[in-house]
Amino acid sequence: MSALLQELLRVSEKAAHIARACRQQEALFQLLIEEKKEGEKNKKFAVDFKTLADVLVQEVVKQNMENKFPGLGEKISGEESNEFTNDLGEKIIVRLCSTEAETAELLGKVLNGNKLASEALANVVHQDVSFTDPILDSLKIDIPQDILGIWVDPIDSTYQYIKGSADIKPIQGIFPSGLQCVTILIGVYDIQTGMPLMGVINQPFVSQDPTTLRWKGQCYWGLSYKGNNIHSLQPIPTRNSSEIPSQRIGNPSLEAAPHGFSAVISTSEKEPIKAALLRVCGDSIFRAAGAGYKSLCVVQGLVDVYIFSEDTTFKWDSCAAHAILKSMGGGMADLKGCLERNPELGLDPPQLVYHVANEGASGVDQWANKGGLLAYRSRNQLETFLSRLIPNLVPHDVNT
């Protein structure tokens, strides 16, 4: 199934090209933004936006995967509706047409007849992009296509993407905001068990050339299936209990936290969690934008855990990183389930699953991670972290 993963890498890079192209001209970019409708909105935000870049990326992923693997396109679900409304009030269904000219004509309707803009976007959408990883050339793992489902978040951290800040400085390697927090997330899961199988995280805006102002990106991937675990990062050594969790291979220059753990959290995290983390992690608590980027910080080894107690992340936010972390020996658990679990029973941490909608929910809430989430890099590390976190929590439900 390396061919599927190779294609996911290629379409993620094509998506990154689209994201960068749409951001290059501010005047053009402002034409591409539309407020989400009821049922599409994340309740975390008073106003929630999508961009034409989001929709184009999602449609490109669907169409490219369907072309290469017939029947797979209908199993791809994403965050964005592909419906846009232009200034005339016309509803346009955005899709990737068979020719560049046809796509340009369709985009012209969305962009109110702006011919130059629509042709430029169509050109990027139809460009052929080659991207591969030599590690995958020798990978021989057969996963039946009929068990696969795919979640796509075409542009995670849309607010940061719209804002477009390029001058944010990192704190110990972690960007609190800015274009670096934007990610493209593609996660493959087993439709029978709900467990993640493959994940690709593309970070389109990693570094900018000071002369040309062009951005370069970075791509991360992982595969975990029937005991086969492989990923694009260097292997992480198994730790024993005497090792300090913050001594990480991802950033060897980062000093170990005096409390032993480090965490990345949302700016909207609730006070009981923040207060407990302060006692567990000390000063090694970092705030950052974007669920995908915060998860990536764990994948990269910049922090030990990403913890979020609210129900405003979704399956498309977590599936890709979950697959990568699983391939590295970690995972992404339901936070509420972890806090309620009796560790003495020896039960595994309750992993997030991706195949079942939330009962009684509607709109995007059907696919919310209702119990929050906890991303981690090893099982032993997670158990130690929870053993320190739980005693420091105020004794009431953090999800209320």
* Candidate list 54, 190, 304, 310, residue with the active-site label: 54
For residue 119, give Cα distances in angstroms to 101, 122, 291: 8, 5, 33
* Candidate list 18, 76, 155, 230, residue with the active-site label: 155
* Candidate list 79, 190, 310, 311, residue with the active-site label: 79
Residue 98 and residue 326: Cα distance in Å, rounded?
Answer: 37
* Candidate list 7, 153, 190, 269, residue with the active-site label: 153
79 belongs to the catalytic site: yes
Q: Evaluate whether 377 touches 328 at the Cβ level (below 8 Å).
A: yes
Tokens 């001058």 sit on residue: 167
158 belongs to the catalytic site: yes
Q: Evaluate whether 269 touches 313 at the Cβ level (below 8 Å).
A: no
384 belongs to the catalytic site: no
* Candidate list 13, 59, 80, 156, residue with the active-site label: 156
397 belongs to the catalytic site: no
Residue 104 and residue 116: Cα distance in Å, rounded?
Answer: 9
312 belongs to the catalytic site: no
Q: Please give the full DSSP string across 33-94, using - where no structure is assigned.
A: EEEPPTTTS-TT-SS-EEEHHHHHHHHHHHHHHHHHSTT-GGGEEES---EEE-TT--EEE-
90 belongs to the catalytic site: no
* Candidate list 103, 158, 183, 313, residue with the active-site label: 158
Q: Across the chain, how many H-helices and E-strands are there?
A: 12, 15
Dihedral angle at the C-alpha atoms of 39, 273, 184, 219, nearest 10 degrees? -170
Non-local CB neighbours of 130 within 8 Å, separated by 6+ positions:
10
Task: Please give the helix or strand (H or E) that residue 332 lies within, else none.
Answer: strand 331-333
CB atoms within 10 A of CB 260: 19
Q: Evaluate whether 122 touches 111 at the Cβ level (below 8 Å).
A: no
In the beta sheet, which residues pair with residue 351? 333
* Candidate list 13, 310, 317, 334, residue with the active-site label: 317
Q: What count of residues does the chain have?
A: 400
3-class state of residue 388 by DSSP: helix
Residue 119 and residue 115: Cα distance in Å, rounded?
Answer: 6
3-class state of residue 186 by DSSP: strand
171 belongs to the catalytic site: no
Q: Evaluate whether 18 touches 57 at the Cβ level (below 8 Å).
A: yes
Q: Which amino acids are annotated catalytic? A: 54, 79, 153, 155-156, 158, 317
